[in-house]
Structure 1
Amino acid sequence: MTNPYFPFHTLGLRCNPFRALTDDEWAQVAVLPDAVRGAAATGFDHLQILGPLGHGKTTALLALTARFRNEGARAAYEYLAEGETRFTADLRELDLFALDEAWRLDESERARLFSLISKGLRLVVSSHDDLSPTFARRGLSLTTVRLGPPGLDHLSTVLNRRLAFFALDPNAPGLAFTPDAARHLRERFGGNLRAAEYFLYEVFQGLMEREEITEEVLRRFVG
């Protein structure tokens, strides 16, 4: 009998795997796109990640912040919400600052940020606008990664990593997305992983038994 307080245990899960994540959880489940992983492996002075809404910019910044911390760097992440034009982090003791939605900074804040970069701070930013001219005017080396729609293999890995992270028993066979399910999600949502996650949250709220997540299963929940 299903415990009404823990309905996801029936599915072998601790909770809905597509619920909102904390920053730490995002960093743990993140699957970096090849281009971002390559930039990190090769090394960079400063890095910007460009891409449309929902294509994984925030995930990449959180994962990179965690990676640099694990390597011993003093790194911090900050997200600029809509309407915010100033960052609040104290950057004086940092080696690396990851600023999400950096394009929202006003001109005075950009000047403040770049004055700190001149003192040795490394910057990783996400943006909808290309900030290359801003770096170029100051003679700063910038690596740019542009995120597009994920390939099917990458999308499948992203989805199944989320299921594995929330599995009750990581060593037991559990739920998995089939290739046709990943293909269906990409056809429906394009590269907008965030929109796909919102949809999958509703799917898992409605799942009643443990089964493979196929295209047929997903189509049951199309309104």
Structure 2
Amino acid sequence: MTAYYTTLQDILEEAGLHHVENGVALSGVVDGINTMFTTDRKPITDRNFDDTVTVDDFVVFVDGVPVNAVSVNEAFGVIELEKAPKNDSVVTIDYSYASVPLRVVELARKAAMAWIDKSMEGIDPCAPYGKYGREIPGRVVELCTNYAVARLLIREYGFNQDIEGTSKDGYKRLEVVKQDMQEFVKSGGVCGDGSDDLSAGLGAVGVRCDVDLFGDFPDRRHPHNDDCYERED
């Protein structure tokens, strides 16, 4: 079982791409027979940091009273209720959604974990982290989250908006997290010995303009015109 260094919810919240909606109407026929309803915004996201979207991550109300949901398709925002609401009832929901596809967030996390593992190879005997059921170190969680956030923000905003110096500046965040990684390498990580050689364990950094934002994983290619980003060689 893969030990993930951070959760998708942590990444989305830190990137400002996780949104909460309370008391919004669900779409669907309310006729005393229908039990299937959909959210206007999707995908529905996890709200308890377990990386899985279940019926525990939202609450559906019929005329203000919580009711049971029995299934959810988070990608399409489809929710099945245990019982059909009576004719002319008001059906609402408290839930959260992401403004990017969850597969993109998963890919950003995968890239972040690969970057950390590559950087700490030969530096920290404890890397890769989370082996044998061990808890992921807080510093590793922070590095993974921030690197994934940077990649998402670059994908979302690129050079098309005036976000320089703001919380949406993915390039600035990428620069900062790479500096943090240099310090982590210098310290020896969790189990290694410290060193003043910052080049050890860190791949060369260059700037690449490509159609694939996540170039380390050629099986997942999605074109983005004029996307320029830093990557590890």
- TM-score by structure 1 length? 0.31
More helix by share: 1
Higher RCO structure, 1 or 2 (CA under 8 Å, sep 6+): 1
More strand by share: 2
- TM-score by structure 2 length? 0.30
